[in-house]
Chain A
Amino acid sequence: NAGVTQTPKFQVLKTGQSMTLQCAQDMNHEYMSWYRQDPGMGLRLIHYSVGAGITDQGEVPNGYNVSRSTTEDFPLRLLSAAPSQTSVYFCASSPDYPTNEKLFFGSGTQLSVL
């Protein structure tokens, strides 16, 4: 099993551009989530999903959209990138539905918005 796969690993955007961060898992996990990691602020939850067709907001959802059309994929969309969205983004999934506790993380995407 590949686990949780994120692409791309690095990305540079200009302010106002849009892009999609990809996340896929092959462990048949129902729960998937997106976090951003900033220095001194830990991991902050952006959006999460408890199954195909179901998504909800986390702590910092503004500026991001998600969808979950399949169990495997959970893409994160930045509609109009801003410098404040410069961060490292982690996708995570959990086998422990419905408690969604033990998280398996992807390797991260380092995003810079100029």
Chain B
Amino acid sequence: GENVEQHPSTLSVQEGDSAVIKCTYSDSASNYFPWYKQELGKRPQLIIDIRSNVGEKKDQRIAVTLNKTAKHFSLHITETQPEDSAVYFCAASLKTSYDKVIFGPGTSLSVIP
């Protein structure tokens, strides 16, 4: 089945710097790659997603890039702010009869003021 790896597991950056989180997936048939943000004690929420027919997608300070050949995708956050501190999960949509969304283990991002 699908396996999603995510690195790093923890990341600390100074406010205003950029943060990059990388994920790899195993099932070449997967074609949908969302990113979820989970603040402490809260539920995960979708922040951005990308499909396999697109190489890059941006939404204000966040962007996601996808390399289908290498089977990896990355989340980029620019001009980080303290409110960006959270756990970020990447995921891949496993193509079976019905899609299953498989998550990576998460990255804990701390933005230091």
Q: Are B46 and A59 in contact (CB under 8 A)?
A: no
- Distance of A100 Cα from B34 Cα, bound (Å): 12
Question: How many residues belonging to A are interface residues under a CB distance threshold of 8 Å?
Answer: 25
B103 contact from A40, A44, A101, Cβ within 8 A = A44
Q: Are B102 and A45 in contact (CB under 8 A)?
A: yes
Q: Are A102 and B104 in contact (CB under 8 A)?
A: no
Q: Are B101 and A45 in contact (CB under 8 A)?
A: yes
**Given A90-B44, A102-B49, CB of A45 within 8 Å of CB of B100:** yes
| A33, A100, A101, A102, most chain B CB atoms within 10 A | A101
Asked if A26 CB lies within 8 Å of chain B CBs, one says: no
Asked if B89 CB lies within 8 Å of chain A CBs, one says: yes
Asked if A43 CB lies within 8 Å of chain B CBs, one says: yes
The total number of A-B Cβ pairs within 8 Å is 61
Question: How many residues belonging to B are interface residues under a CB distance threshold of 8 Å?
Answer: 24
Q: Are A42 and B105 in contact (CB under 8 A)?
A: yes
| B45, B99, B105, B106, most chain A CB atoms within 10 A | B99
Which residue numbers of B lie inside 8 Å of A, CB to CB? 1, 4, 6, 9, 32, 34, 36, 42-46, 49, 89, 93, 98-106
With contacts A43-B44, A101-B99 known, what are 12 further pairs, Cβ within 8 A?
A40-B106, A42-B4, A43-B89, A43-B103, A45-B102, A50-B98, A59-B102, A90-B43, A100-B100, A100-B101, A103-B46, A108-B43
Which residue numbers of A lie inside 8 Å of B, CB to CB? 31, 33, 35, 40-45, 48, 50, 56, 58-59, 90, 98-103, 105-108
